Amino acid sequence: MKKSNVLVPSTRRGFFGFLGIGLTSIAAIPQIFFPSKASASPNHPGPPADVEDWFKKIKGNHRIVYDAPGIHEGFPIIWSWVFLDASNASGSTDEDLTSMVVFRHQAFALALNDDIWSSFKLGKFLKISDPLTGVPAATNPYWDPPQGVMADPGMSIKKLLERGAMFCVCERSLSVNSRMVAKARNLDADAVKKEWIDGLLPGVQVVPAGVWAINRAQELGCSYCFAG
């Protein structure tokens, strides 16, 4: 597979730069990630019932959650397949397995469909290259990749969902990144975020925060694996 160029803010300054926040504006950070109760109600409600119901899908004796803050050349997807495949080879059926991937930080884009990737040029925004052409990806490269992109045809979000794998995306990452894209394109931030949520891949669940979901999964018996 061709190496993708993932933008990774490796320093404190780089991290705040990635968010579009100057170091002189650190005081504003709590308003982005931890809004006040007054502003939290419409945008960051408590875990809705559908989230709680979604976590009830965790099943089986063998459970794992992949923490995916970056796209990492598709390895959060690949490792989910490896877990299922290796477990099958050792005698466990998919019904006895839970593989959950939590898309957060930069990996939010993997939860979005091809139309959103194309319309908002997410490949260019995140510096993610198409595995076949090397140009900025115009579609979600790991939703349903063409033959030859992955080592096994089962290594796709679509195929893994069909097997019962679980995928969720951080609502706060969607909020921050949609706001950044809206500002760059002079669009309404709320409208962009709504379009992104409407453009989630079928079967992907929005969670209040990625780290919240990782904690909840571990509380429910999933072992933790960092997936880049």
pTM > 0.95: no
Q: Contact, 68 vs 227, CB < 8 A?
A: yes
Q: Does 161 reside within a domain?
A: yes
Q: Backbone phi, then psi, for 102, in 5-degree steps?
A: -105, 110
Q: Does 35 reside within a domain?
A: no
Q: Does 133 reside within a domain?
A: yes
**Per-residue pLDDT at 178 exceeds 90:** yes
Q: Does 136 reside within a domain?
A: yes
**Per-residue pLDDT at 203 exceeds 50:** yes
Q: How far apart are CA 105 and CA 5, in angstroms?
A: 16
Cα–Cα nearest to 133, from 117, 121, 154, 149:
149
Over residues 113-128, the mean pLDDT reads 97
Strand 204-207: give its sheet, edge to edge: 204-207, 166-170, 97-103, 62-68, 223-226
Domain count, the chain: 1
pLDDT at 46: 55
CATH of the domain at 195: 3.40.1260.10
pLDDT per residue as tens digits for the range 59-108: 999 999 999 999 999 999 999 999 999 999 999 999 999 999 999 999 99
pLDDT per residue as tens digits for the range 150-173: 999 999 999 999 999 999 999 999
Q: Does 4 reside within a domain?
A: no
- Judged by DSSP in three states, 207 sits in strand
Q: Does 39 reside within a domain?
A: no
* 11 vs 172 pLDDT, higher one: 172
**Per-residue pLDDT at 183 exceeds 90:** yes
pLDDT at 147: 87
Q: Does 5 reside within a domain?
A: no
Question: Residue 171's domain spans which residues?
Answer: 12-27+49-226
pLDDT band at residue 225 using 50, 70 and 90 as cut-offs: very high
Q: Does 201 reside within a domain?
A: yes
